[in-house]
């Protein structure tokens, strides 16, 4: 698959236009990945400022990936081709007179056998340099990449990006804008989210099947982490039962049912899955709570779609629980999921978390949390799935057939 931007450019253009922003200048690894599809490993290792992404507000202009010539070669960036929506601007380092030094490649071993894979990576970098010669520094490369954007406010994702601007006073924080952009997924993001949601749920269910009465919650968490890894993902966390019971005992016992909240990533996009694990015969109060969660979740699934707000979803879930005769409390709260577990703009476009009452639109991927906030029932209850918002409703991204798991 060709290297291509994952970001929804149409959404980005609309958000930037409304905010009066001419371009995004991104220096954080996850933001660069979102903008270009390229994971800048050296940044994740702490080599700040070695790679940048420039996203013009004008969707007719390509996204620019600024990186070093050697990284382009070493990472074999273009081995599967490059989308026409992405351009490279490379740099080497300055010589004594300030000009860019010649490109650097590995030295062939004397009397060795030619490595065809290395040669293809070298040829791809040479082709990129033929199309656009390398600049001397990352600042030079950034200035070249941004030359066609024109004047205006630049949104930056931190001090590293700001420090590289010739006029740092013309910038604003990119985080609120990025959160708004990420809420509406591109087709490429939706494809990744389908896989992430499915494999996360599969790994959670498989992990539960591998433990037994007498095992510890640590064993279940370790099994989940291993099953995620076997499926090509990266585990994030598995919350199990109440923190009080998990910390003070944490043993799987007959009659003690427990909730799980399992989260992992695939290609850096999150799956999020919650269930109640039934061990032996559940306490009547817990069975009652589990049935309430199912009633609320079913009502939300039937009505979730464009045009609702987060508050409507909460109301639908709670009203359905009450109408079914259950006197229990649940948040029935939606949140956007994507590159972050909670991937949505905050109220007032603040930099710190404050829950906003978002309008639900096609292209969103939402979790609806349905834990039952009740105690003294010999366990805990949770129910959570991932939903893709479509033009006329919603589509589950993980298997929803079994609302609880019998151990």
100 inside domain? yes
Among 131, 156, 182, give the residue marking a domain's end: 182
Mean pLDDT, rounded, for 264-268:
98
**Is residue 171 located within the same domain as residue 196?**
no
More confident residue, 109 or 152: 109
CATH number at residue 221: 3.90.230.10
Per-residue pLDDT tens over the stretch 208-249: 999 999 999 999 999 999 999 999 999 999 999 999 999 999
**Is residue 203 located within the same domain as residue 256?**
yes
Among 148, 165, 182, give the residue marking a domain's end: 182
Sign of CA dihedral 192, 195, 199, 202: positive
Residue 88 pLDDT:
94
Residue 286 pLDDT:
97
pLDDT for residue 100 is more than 80: yes
**Is residue 133 located within the same domain as residue 207?**
no
Per-residue pLDDT tens over the stretch 342-356: 999 999 999 999 999
Q: How much is the pTM?
A: 0.95
- H helix intervals, 154-283: 159-163, 175-182, 187-209, 217-230, 243-248
Query: Mean pLDDT over all residues of the chain?
Result: 95
97 inside domain? yes
**Is residue 25 located within the same domain as residue 166?**
yes
The two structure tokens encoding residue 255: 């009659």
The two structure tokens encoding residue 64: 């620019």
**Is residue 265 located within the same domain as residue 218?**
yes
4 inside domain? no
Per-residue pLDDT tens over the stretch 47-81: 999 999 999 999 999 999 999 999 999 999 998 89
Per-residue pLDDT tens over the stretch 118-134: 999 999 999 999 999 99
Q: How far is 33 from 15, CA to CA, in rounded Å?
A: 19
pLDDT for residue 166 is more than 80: no
Q: Which residues contact 193 (CB under 8 A, 6 or more apart)?
A: 185, 269, 337, 338, 365, 386, 388, 397
356 inside domain? yes
CA-closest candidate to residue 51, choices 117, 154, 121, 141: 141
Among 182, 216, 234, give the residue marking a domain's end: 182
377 inside domain? yes
**Is residue 297 located within the same domain as residue 227?**
yes
**Is residue 237 located within the same domain as residue 124?**
no
**Is residue 77 located within the same domain as residue 212?**
no
2 inside domain? no
The domain of 294 spans: 187-406
243 inside domain? yes
Residue 240 pLDDT:
98
**Is residue 296 located within the same domain as residue 391?**
yes
Q: Domains in the chain: how many in total?
A: 2
Mean pLDDT, rounded, for 308-336:
97
């Amino acid at each position: 698959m060709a290297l291509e931007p994952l970001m929804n450019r149409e959404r980005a253009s609309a958000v930037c236009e409304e905010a009066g922003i001419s371009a995004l200048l991104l220096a954080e690894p996850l933001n660069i990945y979102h903008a270009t599809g390229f994971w800048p490993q050296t940044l994740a290792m702490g080599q700040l400022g070695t790679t940048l992404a420039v996203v013009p507000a004008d969707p007719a202009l390509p996204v620019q990936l600024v990186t070093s010539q050697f990284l382009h070669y070493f990472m074999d960036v273009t081995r599967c081709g490059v989308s026409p929506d992405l351009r490279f601007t490379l740099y080497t380092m300055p010589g004594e007179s300030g000009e860019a030094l010649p490109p650097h490649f590995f030295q062939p071993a004397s009397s060795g056998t030619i490595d065809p894979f290395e040669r293809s990576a070298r040829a791809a970098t040479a082709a990129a340099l033929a199309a656009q010669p390398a600049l001397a520094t990352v600042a030079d490369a950034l200035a070249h990449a941004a030359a066609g954007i024109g004047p205006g406010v630049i949104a930056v994702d931190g001090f590293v990006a700001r420090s590289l601007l010739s006029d740092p006073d013309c910038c604003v924080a990119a985080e609120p804008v990025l959160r708004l952009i990420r809420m509406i997924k591109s087709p490429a993001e939706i494809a990744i989210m389908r896989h992430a949601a499915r494999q996360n749920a599969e790994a959670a269910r498989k992990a539960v099947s591998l433990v037994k009465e007498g095992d510890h919650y640590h064993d279940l968490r370790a099994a989940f982490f291993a099953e995620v890894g076997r499926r090509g993902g990266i585990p994030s966390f598995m919350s199990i039962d109440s923190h009080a019971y998990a910390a003070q005992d944490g043993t799987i016992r007959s009659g003690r049912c427990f909730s799980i909240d399992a989260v992992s990533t695939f290609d850096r996009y999150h799956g999020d899955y919650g269930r109640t694990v039934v061990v032996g015969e559940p306490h009547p109060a817990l069975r009652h709570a589990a049935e309430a969660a199912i009633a609320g979740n079913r009502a939300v699934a039937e009505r979730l779609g464009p045009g609702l707000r987060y508050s409507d979803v909460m109301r639908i879930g709670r009203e359905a629980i009450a109408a079914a005769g259950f006197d229990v409390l649940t948040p029935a709260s939606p949140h956007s999921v994507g590159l972050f577990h909670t991937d949505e703009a905050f109220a007032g476009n603040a930099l710190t978390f404050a829950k906003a009452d978002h309008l639900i639109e096609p292209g969103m991927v939402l979790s609806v949390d349905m834990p039952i906030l009740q105690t003294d029932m010999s366990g805990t209850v949770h129910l959570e799935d991932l939903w893709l918002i479509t033009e006329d409703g919603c589509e589950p991204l993980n298997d929803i057939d079994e609302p609880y798991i019998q151990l």
